[in-house]
Amino acid sequence: MSERPEIIIYTDGSCSPNPGRGGWAAILFNETHKREVCGGELHTTNNRMELIAVVEALKRIKQPSKIVLHSDSKYVIEGVSSWLEGWKAKGFKKVKNPELWMQLDELIQPHSINWVWVKGHEGVSMNERADALANEGRLRQKVTSTLLLLTKAD
């Protein structure tokens, strides 16, 4: 049996204002490949963007792997490390973003993941890059508005 591939991931979420326009990003790499992905939503929260960043990263891994996942979100790290099993047992009742936590729970199953909290904005180059990408994802979201033209009927 072959050994699981090793993958390093850095994720980040961004929202301004919070709640408001948000972005997420993930950087996945190993010895030979690197992939950066980002996106966003118009009306969201920072915690939601942090979770989506992890979900989107894990969606891109197609085989069971050995992963070291770095996040500056204590919400994500503590959620998956300390609270997830209890939330599952209670059917995710009274949990914010339950659909994302359920999806994350499903996505982590085939992998061996070491969850690492990294302090944000402290000069960790990959975390800084993930932050820049999350902001890019946030800024790509166009503010939409509806213009209603009222005309006088003849």
* Neighbouring-strand partners of residue 113: 67
Determine which helix (DSSP H) or strand (DSSP E) holds 76, and give its type and residue range: helix 74-78
Summarised one tens digit per residue, pLDDT across range 74-96 is 999 999 999 999 999 999 999 99
CA distance 124 to 119: 8
Summarised one tens digit per residue, pLDDT across range 31-80 is 999 999 999 999 999 999 999 999 999 999 999 999 999 999 999 999 99
Summarised one tens digit per residue, pLDDT across range 15-27 is 999 999 999 999 9
- Looking at every residue in the chain, the average pLDDT score rounds to 91
- Does the domain made of 6-140 have the CATH classification 3.30.70.20? no
Active site residues: 12-13, 50, 72, 121, 131
Q: Any idea where the domains of the chain sit in the sequence?
A: 6-140
Structural contact between residues 105 and 99, judged by C-beta atoms closer than 8 angstroms: no
DSSP 96-139: SSHHHHHHHHHHHTTSEEEEEE--TTSS-HHHHHHHHHHHHHHH
